[in-house]
């Protein structure tokens, strides 16, 4: 992939492969034009966050996915069939939780644009600061930034993967399909976690986390024993700027506007399935596992 898509801040391309990643990003410009100021963001297909996922990069125009070279290896599963999953769902739908469940059960590589963005923001790099500006406003990170990050991670995936947060727009989905087809692959399953807006607002606006140990609490479903204090390490709990109610509603509006066409696109491809994300995490896990079991069989 190349630079550009919307995702909440992630890492830039660095290390020994940073230059190559930037070259790949520049190649991605072709048939896909991303013109909006607000682009959908999030994870490209699987890959580990290796050195290539770590460096600052150019913001070259988008073209499409690289079609040869090391990326071919990403479609070779060692010892079994490859399973490639795109996980969709609005902010707060529980994609991160279910992604961990599925990756652990089926041996998939979890690629999350959100994690990549947060890493880059934590480094306070120029790219991270740019991403942070979008995140604080409840906006999606531009395509060029997201695609660049995803491009930097593709080489490291040796087998099956789960994309969490990418694609976010129809153009991104088409770019992903073009890349896969050129390498003899395809998406096996597009799994969408559906939730009502009010349920999402209640879930996210009540979320507080501990910056010291990463523990997450919810004032409604899992409140801390002592208000404002982490049960696990005693650290002070904070609410992320993108979890306030006003920002959550803005994020949902942007998400709906940009990603609605994705469901229609993937439904037409015949690989789209939806699960009720408003159930308990355990029930959702059982449901998504059953769906993937059918594909994996």
Pairing of strands 189-194, 272-276: parallel
Phi, psi of 30 (to 5 degrees): -75, -95
In a domain, 215, yes or no: no
Phi, psi of 40 (to 5 degrees): -75, 155
CATH number at residue 159: 3.40.50.300
How high is the pLDDT of residue 70?
A: 34
Q: Are the CB atoms for 41 and 113 separated by under 8 Å?
A: yes
Catalytic residue, candidates 105, 136, 240, 250: 240
The count of domains in the chain is 1
Instruction: State the DSSP H helix or E strand holding residue 119, giving kind and residue range, or none if neither.
Output: helix 113-122
Catalytic residue, candidates 118, 168, 178, 203: 168
As a whole number, the mean pLDDT across the chain is 73
Q: Of the candidates 151, 176, 139, 169, which has an alpha carbon nearest to the alpha carbon of residue 37? A: 139
Catalytic residue, candidates 63, 84, 95, 178: 95
In a domain, 288, yes or no: yes
In a domain, 121, yes or no: yes
In a domain, 161, yes or no: yes
Q: Is 168 an active-site residue? A: yes
Range of the domain at 252: 15-64+79-195+244-296
> What confidence tier does 177 reach under pLDDT thresholds 50, 70, 90?
confident
In a domain, 205, yes or no: no
Q: Is 249 an active-site residue? A: no
**pLDDT at position 52 over 70:** no
In a domain, 201, yes or no: no
Among 5-9, 46-50, 132-136, which range has the highest average pLDDT? 132-136
Q: Of the candidates 114, 116, 76, which has an alpha carbon nearest to the alpha carbon of residue 97? A: 114
Q: Is 63 an active-site residue? A: no
**Per-residue pLDDT tens for 240-292?**
887 889 999 999 998 888 888 898 999 999 999 999 999 999 999 999 999 99
- Percentage of residues in the chain having pLDDT higher than 90: 32
């Amino acid at each position: 992939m190349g630079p550009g898509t919307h995702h909440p801040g992630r890492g830039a391309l660095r290390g020994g492969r940073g230059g190559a990643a930037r070259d790949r990003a520049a190649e991605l410009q072709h048939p896909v034009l991303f013109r909006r100021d607000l682009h959908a963001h999030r994870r490209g297909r699987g890959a580990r966050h290796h050195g290539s996922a770590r460096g600052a990069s150019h913001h070259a125009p988008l073209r499409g996915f690289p079609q040869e070279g090391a990326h071919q290896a990403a479609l070779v599963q060692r010892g079994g069939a490859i399973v490639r999953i795109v996980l969709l769902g609005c902010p707060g739908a529980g994609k991160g939780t279910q992604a961990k469940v599925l990756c652990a059960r089926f041996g998939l590589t979890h690629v999350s644009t959100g994690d990549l963005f947060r890493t880059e923001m934590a480094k306070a790099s120029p790219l991270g600061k740019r991403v942070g500006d979008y995140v604080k406003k409840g906006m999606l990170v531009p395509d060029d930034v997201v695609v660049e990050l995803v491009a930097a991670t593709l080489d490291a995936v040796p087998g099956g993967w789960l994309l969490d947060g990418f694609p976010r727009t129809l153009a991104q989905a088409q770019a992903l399909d073009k890349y896969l087809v050129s390498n003899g692959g395809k998406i096996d399953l597009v799994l969408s976690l559906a939730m009502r807006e009010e349920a999402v607002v209640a879930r996210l606006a009540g979320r507080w986390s501990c910056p010291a140990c990463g523990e997450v609490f919810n004032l409604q479903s899992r409140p801390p024993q002592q208000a404002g204090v982490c049960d696990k390490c005693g650290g002070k709990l904070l609410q992320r700027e993108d979890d306030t109610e006003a920002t959550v509603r803005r994020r949902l509006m942007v998400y709906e506007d940009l990603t609605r066409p994705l469901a229609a696109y993937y439904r037409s491809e015949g690989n789209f399935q939806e699960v009720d994300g408003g159930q308990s995490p355990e029930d959702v896990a059982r449901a998504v596992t059953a769906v993937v079991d059918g594909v994996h069989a």
